[in-house]
Amino acid sequence: IEIFIESSKTDIYRDGTRVVIARTFSYMCPVSKFELYLRLAGIQDDSEEYVFCAISKSGSGYRLRNREKPLSYTRVRELFIEAFTGIVDNIKVYGLHSLRSGGATASAVRGIPDRIFKRHGRWRSESAKDGYVQDPLSERLSVSKKLGL
């Protein structure tokens, strides 16, 4: 699937960028989960409306409201805290950037080339990307082990 991000903090020229995501055919496949969301939300593939916007309870289900306005950063943060409270030890040390950090770290640990996951994460510089990667202790210890001291 290809998603066009019209503008973001990392897009200083506001050119927009396209992010591609592969169908993995796993239970957690991001493409199939996104397609399910679109279907349940009644959003057409070629829609110009915001994909993630406010919702309200309607009878036995939910419906999208204010389709012309995106979710605010504050509301997404509230939803993040709500979703992860009780799962992590101290929710106060986590933020939305934790999701970017987790993705960057998982990519690095799995050996995905820096250039590829830098582009996927829309980082302009190596230092910006590297700030999100949390090297595992085993990798950090490997430096002194490989020196043969």
Question: Which pLDDT score, from 0 to 100, does residue 10 have?
Answer: 72
* Residue 140, amino acid: R
For the cut 90, the answer to whether the pLDDT of residue 120 exceeds it is no
Please give the model's pTM, rounded to 2 decimal places.
0.72
Whether residue 145 is predicted with pLDDT greater than 80 in this model: the reply is yes
- Residue 2's φ and ψ, nearest 5 degrees, are -120, 125
Of the chain, the end-to-end C-alpha distance in Å amounts to 49
Contacts of 30 (CB under 8 A, 6+ apart): 21, 24
CA distance 123 to 109: 18
What CA dihedral angle connects 39, 41, 42 and 46, to 10 degrees? -80
Q: pLDDT, tens digit, for every residue of 18-64?
A: 889 999 999 999 999 999 999 988 888 888 888 888 888 888 888 88
Helix (H) or strand (E) holding 3: strand 2-5
pLDDT in tens, 122-143: 887 888 888 888 888 988 899 8
Most confident of 2-11, 70-79, 117-126: 70-79
- Over the stretch 67-115, which tens digit does the pLDDT of each residue have? 888 888 899 999 999 999 999 999 999 999 898 888 888 888 899 998 8
Give SS3 for 83. helix
- Over 90: is that where the pLDDT of 121 sits? no
What is the rounded CA–CA span in Å between residue 62 and residue 35?
17
